[in-house]
Chains A and B, each alone.
Chain A
Amino acid sequence: MASKKNKRNPHDKRRLTKRRLKEWLCGYMFILPWIVGVCIFFVYAMVQSLRFSFSNIIFSNGITFNTLTNPWDNYAAVFMKEINFPVTLANFGLGLTLQLPIIIAFSLIIALLLNSKIRARSLFRMIFFLPVIIATGPVMQQLTAQGVSSVPMVSQNTLLSILQGLPEFIYQPINDLFSSLILILWNSGIQILIFLAGLQKVPSTLYEAAKIDGASGWESFWKITLPIMKPMILLNSVYTVVTLATGGDNEIIQLIYDVSYAATKGYSYGAAMSWIYTAVVALILLLVFLLLREKSDKHVKYETKRPDLKERRQDA
């Protein structure tokens, strides 16, 4: 074995050099708090929730697990008995379909504006990120209660009269969208930040070259910016789906809460419903991934490829 090790190519990138080990350790040290947090607060809870969903539990003198005749009973019951679940799930899907493109498009536009050379750019960046901090607390509840979530120019009654002819399942998500439009846009701070980070990595030489070739700003956006930003769009879409799926005002989360405390349903039933919902969200994420994935990494490679020693020497 020792002789095999000695025969290894010293330029083999898989070889664990001291420097690589240091980088590796450094990287893991950065994400260690997250790993610890996930293991303690997330993995354990998930495993426990899975156990709950395959039994019938009672909280009395600790947790009492009662075995089910068929371990899938709770899952079957959710599909067979829960009349509100498919409807709420469909509403969520429809709402998501409407909200996701709006958030992504809005974030990208704002990021493009914030990336342009304007005065007080940092101030504007701060202003757009501020709601992310404000939105995490009672301030947001107060603002929502005072009606900041809807667009002031768009009267709910006017909207109602325009959409009145539509079936409720179409009308409701559109109405919800308009009534919480400001809130949706307000929650775009993180997405703007991610797009901004991506935009700053686009080499200016590409735009210069395009300009020399006679490309307009519009063409540059479609041919350079958007393709390079595609991985960021995927990342932001995933982030947005997860945020919308787990938000406090999500109707399915409320439904899961309600059934967990219902006498005839209970925690196990709620846990089963949670897992079905998790599967649906995972499916949506998969769909988003398949739609937006980067089939070729050519744009990213261009940026992340580290010039080798020979090239650097030549440059010098």
Chain B
Amino acid sequence: MKKLVALIMALCMMASLCSFASAEATYNMPELNTTDPITITFMTWDDFELTRALADKFTEKYPNITIEIIETTTADVTGTLTNLAADNNMPDVFFWLDLDPLLANHLMMDITTYIENDEEAQTKLYPSLRNVGYVDGKRCFFMPGENLPAIIYLDKAVFDKLNVELPAQDWTWEQMLELIETMTDPSQGIWAYNYFMGPVTLGPIALTDNVTGEFGWDGESYNFGSGWVDMMEKQSEYARLGYQAIAGSEEYLAVVPDDMWPGESGHVAIQMDAYWTMNNIYTQTAALERGLQMVPYNAPIGEGVENGGQFSWLDMVSISKDCQHPREAYEVAKFLTWGKEGWLARAELYPTITRDVTNAETGDVTQEKIYRLPGSLPMIEDEEVAAAMAAIMPDLGYWNDWENFFNAIQNPVTFGGRTIPGFNTFITDFYHGSDYAGYTGIEAAINAGAIDPFDYTDKLDEAGRKYYDDAMAVFFSVYGEAE
């Protein structure tokens, strides 16, 4: 009997092992047309020269597919898209900024088949980006297109002046707050921090478990009780206690008479800003000559927070509902945005690509390098891409730890308006637009000390969810229910 039981158990184990083996993901990506001539229109606001060069690299690989680039700007993109849709002339692949008009006007194609059968998408995309395009949790309508993370710049020169050591690249949110609370030194004309996107925006993402959007959004509801209340109070307190450098204030003008932007003044220890500031300001001669030594850090995540996020300006990309060659369009979108091959091509192009610059006086045309740093950052976990990118990052002289920087910056979460239906209306109407104790907008009321943010968390959660439900009702009425 014992033998029989042992035999049955052994058989069961074998069977379960077999079932595990067979449960391994299989990918049945539809075949790509590599013979018929196909033209894919691609609308972007990214640098034309880079996009053109990438498109040419794609056509080298697939000679039958030509990419036609339609240029737009971030300011015009939503209007341009609706105009093109009204003219029945949508681009096959397009970048966009606001999710709501795309939902309401049925502009995006359901790309679930492609994304779920793409091994690279399922295994290499940063975990926080794998499900980003699933509007109703079942169907995917968009992919990440460009990753421009929030960066916390720590001025090494200021840290040295105050004899404070720079933290490790895998620092935590609590460490950052501790630095903000201890680094102001009025006797030396130093403020602890200044921000472009402050703790109120970054905090709720960094301090909420399994976050997927702003204000602690987890895919179903907002969590204003998690992070937002504390960060509203902290942000307000930091300004009141003088930790924040406030341009134009009497205290600031006494130290910086020309009222220069605090982040560039050399009097701020921590500047909460964006990736592009490195390219636009901190690697420029003017900033370096002033002695700025800005070390880039990821937006930190709270201690003990599971799958907390790091705020990033993520731009999204979709395939038009009317696209005649969706499989090929998907390949184009992937190559020109997050795909590994595209990123290896970018690593080659970023250091070398130039732009024609015409001298206004002489009319001479010269070639000018476009990038000191890559224009955006990768969205996939891949050693080859990481190595190629680390190799092209400049040695700043005072700092060169790009490898650890890349390792620490792999959980981007973006603006609510890009991923949460109804978010923009909620923010415009309710968060910034409603009356709170005589003030328009809740932040204005809190900053004036008129209300306690804690009293409003439930109301905000409820209102946010209602705006989401209303927008989803529109989405279902336009796109129908998932089968």
- Residues of A with Cβ closer than 8 Å to B? 58-63, 83-84, 87, 147, 155-157, 167-168, 172, 255, 258, 260-267
Known contacts A264-B474, A266-B104; is-contact A168 B439 (Cβ 8 Å): yes
- The residue on A at minimum CB distance from B478 is A58
Interchain residue pairs A-B with the least CB separation, the first 4:
A263-B100, A59-B85, A263-B471, A60-B106
- Contact, CB under 8 Å: A261 / B98: yes
CB-CB under 8 A from B428, the residues of chain A are: 84, 255, 258, 262
CB-CB under 8 A from A266, the residues of chain B are: 104
Q: How far is the CA of A62 from the CA of B104 in the complex (A)?
A: 14
Contact of B424 among A63, A84, A262 (CB under 8 A): A262
Q: How far is the CA of A264 from the CA of B322 in the complex (A)?
A: 23
- Contact, CB under 8 Å: B438 / A167: yes
CB-CB under 8 A from B322, the residues of chain A are: 61
Q: How far is the CA of A193 from the CA of B11 in the complex (A)?
A: 97
- The residue on A at minimum CB distance from B467 is A264
B330 located at the interface, meaning its Cβ lies under 8 Å from any Cβ of chain A in the complex: no
Known contacts A167-B438, A258-B428, A263-B425; is-contact A84 B100 (Cβ 8 Å): no
Q: How far is the CA of A286 from the CA of B474 in the complex (A)?
A: 40
B87 located at the interface, meaning its Cβ lies under 8 Å from any Cβ of chain A in the complex: yes
Contact of A60 among B107, B429, B434, B475 (CB under 8 A): B107
CB-CB under 8 A from B103, the residues of chain A are: 263
- Contact, CB under 8 Å: A264 / B105: no
CB-CB under 8 A from B438, the residues of chain A are: 167-168
CB-CB under 8 A from A61, the residues of chain B are: 88, 322
CB-CB under 8 A from B105, the residues of chain A are: 58-60
- Contact, CB under 8 Å: B101 / A261: yes
- Contact, CB under 8 Å: B422 / A263: yes
B82 located at the interface, meaning its Cβ lies under 8 Å from any Cβ of chain A in the complex: yes
- Contact, CB under 8 Å: A262 / B100: yes
Query: Among residues 148 to 193 in chain B, which have CB atoms less than 8 Å away from a CB atom of chain A?
Result: none
Contact of B107 among A59, A260, A264, A267 (CB under 8 A): A59
The 16 listed contacts between A and B (C-beta, < 8 Å) are A58-B104, A58-B106, A59-B82, A59-B86, A60-B106, A63-B86, A83-B429, A147-B248, A155-B248, A156-B248, A168-B440, A261-B78, A261-B82, A262-B100, A264-B422, A264-B471
Write out, one digit per residue, whether chain B residues 433-457 have a CB within 8 A of any chain A CB (1) or not (0).
1100011100000000000000000
- Residues of B with Cβ closer than 8 Å to A? 78, 82, 85-88, 98-101, 103-107, 248-250, 259, 321-322, 421-422, 424-425, 428-429, 433-434, 438-440, 467, 470-471, 473-475, 478
- The residue on A at minimum CB distance from B105 is A59
Contact of A157 among B249, B433, B475 (CB under 8 A): B249
In the assembled complex, the CB of A267 is this many whole angstroms from the nearest CB of chain B, namely: 7
Contact of B434 among A62, A83, A155, A267 (CB under 8 A): A83
In the assembled complex, the CB of A314 is this many whole angstroms from the nearest CB of chain B, namely: 63
CB-CB under 8 A from A267, the residues of chain B are: 82
CB-CB under 8 A from A264, the residues of chain B are: 104, 422, 425, 467, 470-471, 473-474
CB-CB under 8 A from A157, the residues of chain B are: 248-250
In the assembled complex, the CB of A250 is this many whole angstroms from the nearest CB of chain B, namely: 16
- The residue on A at minimum CB distance from B424 is A262
Q: How far is the CA of A58 from the CA of B425 in the complex (A)?
A: 18
CB-CB under 8 A from B422, the residues of chain A are: 263-264
CB-CB under 8 A from A59, the residues of chain B are: 82, 85-86, 105, 107
- Contact, CB under 8 Å: A62 / B429: no
- Contact, CB under 8 Å: B88 / A263: no
A sample of 13 more A-B contacts (CB under 8 A), given A58-B105, A261-B82, is: A60-B105, A62-B85, A62-B88, A83-B434, A84-B429, A156-B248, A168-B440, A258-B425, A261-B101, A261-B424, A263-B421, A263-B425, A265-B425
The listed residue with most A CB atoms (<10 A of its CB), out of B104, B321, B470, is B104
- The residue on B at minimum CB distance from A63 is B86
Q: How far is the CA of A112 from the CA of B116 in the complex (A)?
A: 73
In the assembled complex, the CB of B276 is this many whole angstroms from the nearest CB of chain A, namely: 17
In the assembled complex, the CB of A145 is this many whole angstroms from the nearest CB of chain B, namely: 10
Q: How far is the CA of A314 from the CA of B221 in the complex (A)?
A: 90
Q: How far is the CA of A61 from the CA of B86 in the complex (A)?
A: 7
CB-CB under 8 A from B424, the residues of chain A are: 258, 261-262
CB-CB under 8 A from B248, the residues of chain A are: 147, 155-157
- The residue on A at minimum CB distance from B433 is A84
CB-CB under 8 A from A155, the residues of chain B are: 248, 250
In the assembled complex, the CB of B322 is this many whole angstroms from the nearest CB of chain A, namely: 7
CB-CB under 8 A from B467, the residues of chain A are: 264
In the assembled complex, the CB of A141 is this many whole angstroms from the nearest CB of chain B, namely: 11
Q: How far is the CA of A265 from the CA of B101 in the complex (A)?
A: 10
In the assembled complex, the CB of B82 is this many whole angstroms from the nearest CB of chain A, namely: 5
- Contact, CB under 8 Å: A87 / B440: yes
Contact of A83 among B82, B433, B439, B474 (CB under 8 A): B433
Q: How far is the CA of A63 from the CA of B105 in the complex (A)?
A: 10
Q: How far is the CA of A59 from the CA of B80 in the complex (A)?
A: 12
Q: How far is the CA of A60 from the CA of B479 in the complex (A)?
A: 12
- The residue on A at minimum CB distance from B444 is A168
